[in-house]
Amino acid sequence: MIVALPRIALKRISTSLLILAMSFLFTLLLGCDEKGPVETFGKEIDGVVENIGQEINKAEKNTTKKIDKIAKDSAEKFNKAAKGATKKFDEVRKDAVKKLDEVAKETNKKVDVVSDEIQQVVEVVKKTSGKIKEISSTQEIVKSEK
């Protein structure tokens, strides 16, 4: 398992190591004028510290690259899912509109049939009303003749 340190932590570590290495180097340089085993050892430590700094920088770059790749992959997957959801929504919406249109057409047909039937009833009522008027007129004529 790889443990990814945040950039700030990596910078703090590399800065701390650099300060430590420089302090050690100054102590060795100021403490002795002759090149001896301690100075040689100090140079070796400087090299080690420099190598550690380079490795930390490499690790930071690799970690950054991995985080960027994960973020990019996640964004691509999210966009793909969003497009899929949009496509599904559009399909459902189109299907719902189609079904609503069918229901509206059927309803309109039934309203037309009922409207025609009402018109027929109105015609029958008009004819019946006319006949009732005729009968009423005939009754008045008969009453007046009596």
What is the rounded distance in angstroms from the CA atom of residue 50 to the CA atom of residue 76?
39
Whether 18 has a pLDDT exceeding 90, the answer reads no
Per-residue pLDDT at 142: 75
Q: What are the phi and psi torsion angles at 54 (to 5°)?
A: -65, -40
Pick the more confident residue, 99 or 26: 99
User: Which pLDDT tens digit goes with each residue over 86-124?
Assistant: 999 999 999 999 999 999 999 999 999 999 999 999 999
- CA 34 from chain centre, in angstroms, equals 69
Q: Residue 10: pLDDT band by 50, 70, 90 thresholds?
A: low
Q: What percentage of the chain exceeds 90 in pLDDT? A: 41
Mean pLDDT of all residues belonging to the chain:
81
Pick the more confident residue, 12 or 49: 49
pTM of the model: 0.42
In the predicted model, what is the mean pLDDT of residues 27-40?
64
Q: 42: how many CB neighbours lie within 10 A of its CB?
A: 20
20 Cβ contact partners less than 8 Å away, ≥ 6 residues apart: 49
